[in-house]
Amino acid sequence: MDTADASIKLGQEIFGKNKLLSIAEIGMSTARGVMSALGSTPPNPVLAGVIGATGAVQAAKVSGIKLADGTEFVNGQGTNRSDSVPAMLSVGERVVPEAINSQLGGISNEELLGAISGSGSKETKVIILNPAGLFSDEMIAQQLVNIQAVVDDNQLTAQG
């Protein structure tokens, strides 16, 4: 087993143990809340039931969390700049900022790979990323002219 595989396996083990620990903490907090509601004067069984149901929902939510296998968009609480969604990454994986991802227009990871490599098509595909509008339309147009010149030169070389 190489280092990358060992790192992935360790990350998965840590994830699983943290998940179990979180569920146990929810169970203990819920039990304390239920005991407190029943130990009050007068005892409050309705509140105890609400606390117990809330704890069960929280535990179910945590138990349903799984490691992702890749996604185009991440959903969750926060904003597009809040860094509020935790992520565990493997060596060689990449995360792109929301500004760049939104410019890709919903293209899937597989389509993006095909567009970059040009696989499955004889057409040249170009993706231009313009994070936060750093480049003017004129600059982008000039880059497209430069790219077309390189493509034309390569076709001339390949043809003869």
Residue 51 included in any domain = yes
| pLDDT tens per residue, range 31-79 | 999 999 999 999 999 999 999 999 999 999 888 887 766 666 777 788 8
What is the token pair recorded at 120? Answer: 């499955």
pLDDT at 21: 92
Residue 14 included in any domain = yes
Local structure of residue 39 (DSSP, 8 states): H
Binned at pLDDT 50, 70 and 90, residue 160 comes out as: very low
Which string of DSSP letters, residue by residue, matches 92-112? T-----HHHHHHTTT--HHHH
Amino acid found at 42: P
Residue 74 included in any domain = no
Residue 19 included in any domain = yes
pLDDT at 81: 77
Residue 43 included in any domain = yes
Vertex 156, ends 152 and 129: CA angle to 5°? 25
Binned at pLDDT 50, 70 and 90, residue 159 comes out as: very low
pLDDT at 87: 75
| 11: helix, strand or coil | helix
* Structural domain containing residue 24: 3-63
Count, residues in the chain = 160
Residues 111, 59, single domain; the answer is no
What is the token pair recorded at 52? Answer: 């117990």
Residue 114's contacts (CB-CB under 8 Å, 6 or more residues apart) are 120, 121, 125
**Between 41 and 87, residue with greater pLDDT:** 41
Q: Which of 63, 85, 114 is the last residue of a domain?
A: 63
pTM over 0.75: no
pLDDT at 50: 93
Residue 85 included in any domain = no
| pLDDT tens per residue, range 104-148 | 766 777 777 666 665 545 555 555 666 666 777 777 777 777 666
pLDDT at 34: 94
Residue 29's contacts (CB-CB under 8 Å, 6 or more residues apart) are 55
Residues 56, 9, single domain; the answer is yes
Q: How many domains does the chain have?
A: 2
Residue 88 included in any domain = no
Residue 77 included in any domain = no
Largest CA distance in the chain: 94
